[in-house]
Structure formats: C-alpha cells, structure tokens
Structure 1
Amino acid sequence: MARRDLTGAVDFGYLESYAAGDLDVVQEVLELFRQQAALWAPLLAPGQEGWPDAVHTIKGTARGIGAGALAQACEAAETHGEGCLPAVRDALDAALSDVAAYVHELMLRSLKTPPAR
C-alpha cells in the first residue's frame, strides 16, 4: 500500500503484522485508538487533575498500534511531569493524523478492489 501523507508516527507494518494481516482487525484497533484519544486528550493540559491517568492509558494504546514516539512522549511525561504534556499532545496529533491518512487509504483501496465472489 502506498503510504502517502504518513509521517512515520505510527508503524502500521507492526500493527498489520500483529493483526496477522487482517485489515478489518487493524481498522477496529485504530478506531479504538481514536476513541481512547478523544476521551483522554482533554486531560493532556497542565493543571488537569487526571493527566497522569491519561498519559498512562495513551502510552499503552500507543505501544499497541506501533506509535513509538507517542509512547516515549507519554513515558517522559510520567517520569518528568506535566511540563512534557505539550510534547505528548504533539505526538498524539501526529499519530492521529497518520491514522486518519492510513484509514483513508484503506477506504480508497476498498473502492478499487472488486469484492470477492
């Protein structure tokens, strides 16, 4: 698959391999990641009481999809504190952008591929 518009924030090869090439599973996992991000992202601001839980949860989901830079940013925030939250937000935005581009590409690909009979 062509990987245009991807920054490398997510290693989709890792995720595809982990899902044994089942793109339906990959899409489901990525949708869960997007839902998690939507729930936790509002807490990624200095002064938000729940930011440590948000960072920890996002770190786990990032590792699950192959978003290494995001997982590292979360780990830095866990270690060094809320001053690292802007880097977490930036890494989350990059991962979400890559996920959107990847899912879009899958949708385009499905339009070009005739259904199996």
Structure 2
Amino acid sequence: MDASTEPRETHLVVINLPGPNWVSPLPTTSAMAEQHHAIYQSLLDDGLLISAGRLNGPSVMGIALFHQDVDEQAVRVRLDSDELVTRGYISLDYRHWELLSGSLAGVKGVPGG
C-alpha cells in the first residue's frame, strides 16, 4: 500500500461560530455559560474530547478536537443541547480533519501518547 492509499488519521472537529441570534456581548446568564463549559468538560471526562478552546479573531469562536473514531452522533446530541445553540447565539460546524502530515499519536491524552 503506498502513502496515497494508506488510511489517514481523521478526527472530528467542531467549530463554534456566531449563530443567527449572535450579539456581542452575548446576553448569557452565568448558568448558561456554566452549562456550555460543563458539556465540553463532560466530553473531556468521558474520553471523547482531546481539547477545546477559543479561536482568536474578530468574533469569539471556539474549536473542539475529538478522538479518532468518536461516535459523532453521540457528540452531536450533547453539543446540540447546549442552550447557546438552542437559542441561536452560536452555531456548530461539524467537520472531519484528515491529517496529511504529522500525527497526534504521542500527544498526551491521545491514544498512543
């Protein structure tokens, strides 16, 4: 099998983007913010999430990187229940990141790391 046909390491990535009801600053309650962070923390605690955080830029956005072979539907159910999503303040863009060079193997928290 040559390099072009070998299976590539692929990870689910979820990008948090401004939603249709986005305003800055967000009219979030502390309970809403706590729920948002708790969802991501539970995904981390359950071994599904590698890392998550904010992306710098003109509007506050975030990104979450998941382990290979994660159950995307299970992740969607949890993230789509976030009140920031259900109220339209943020939207979620689900993508698959196919690594073309390098690897996350060897990174702490990643299988093989």
TM-score scaled by structure 1? 0.36
| More strand by percentage | 2
As a proportion of its length, which structure holds more helix? 1
Structure number with higher relative contact order (C-alpha < 8 Å, ≥ 6 residues apart): 2
